[in-house]
């Protein structure tokens, strides 16, 4: 998801640059000698149609990226993330029932995972910068965030919403394991708790 959002950001920057360049060229031409040019060429051709093409392309890209990162009912793994001052509890679906692990999220590489985010006391915010945008954890509400990690490894997650004096230490690890090793990794993690 982070890669898709970054791609969209670069596309928006390119569109904004193209429109800014057009305005600067028109501004520079305004200081030159008068030209015999049909007004419709500027208002319709460059002013309206070029702007519509750039903005339309940016909108289409935004809709395409937005649709791809939305969680949907497609059988993705669901992990519950419950925040409280000042730690996270992650409840994973295990082979023999739910597995709850404190401050460590374990997900399979290459598979979509829906994180169901809740809070117990105040508003917190779940954020793994390398994987995607942040989502608030609000008491009494469940928010859903879809993550997909490309490769095994370790990542860091944080609470990105000030939640009290212990906020700075409210961090968690994200362990990305090969998809085939995911159930065994949960069992090993539960045994070490």
Neighbours of 108 (CB within 10 A): 21
pLDDT score, position 31 = 84
pLDDT score, position 132 = 78
d(C-alpha 57, C-alpha 47), whole Å: 16
CATH fold, domain 77-192, is Immunoglobulin-like (2.60.40)
pLDDT score, position 1 = 63
> Could you list the mean pLDDT of each consecutive 10-residue stretch along the chain, which spans 193 residues?
74 84 82 74 72 82 76 82 94 84 91 92 93 89 90 93 90 92 72 61
Question: In Å, what is the CA distance from 127 to each residue of 106, 130, 145, 147, 150?
Answer: 15, 9, 10, 11, 17
pLDDT score, position 15 = 79
Radius of gyration of the CA atoms of the chain, in A = 24
pLDDT score, position 42 = 67
Domain ranges of the chain: 2-69, 77-192
């Amino acid at each position: 998801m982070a890669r898709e959002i970054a791609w969209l950001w670069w596309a928006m920057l390119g569109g904004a640059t193209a429109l800014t360049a057009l305005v600067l060229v028109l501004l520079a031409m305004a200081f030159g000698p008068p030209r015999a040019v049909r007004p419709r060429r500027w208002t319709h051709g460059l002013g309206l149609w070029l702007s519509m093409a750039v903005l339309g392309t940016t909108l289409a890209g935004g809709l395409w990226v937005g649709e791809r990162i939305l969680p949907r009912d497609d059988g993705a793994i669901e992990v519950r993330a419950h925040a409280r001052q000042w730690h996270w509890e992650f409840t994973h679906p295990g082979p023999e029932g739910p597995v709850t692990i404190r401050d460590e999220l374990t997900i399979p590489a290459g598979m979509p995972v829906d994180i169901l985010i809740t809070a117990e006391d105040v508003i917190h915010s779940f954020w793994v910068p390398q994987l995607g945008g942040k989502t608030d954890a609000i008491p009494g509400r469940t928010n859903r965030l879809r993550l997909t990690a490309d490769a095994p490894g370790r990542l860091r997650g944080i609470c990105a919403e000030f939640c009290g004096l212990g906020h700075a230490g409210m961090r968690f690890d994200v362990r990305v394991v090969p998809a085939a090793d995911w159930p065994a990794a949960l069992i090993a993690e539960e045994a070490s708790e």
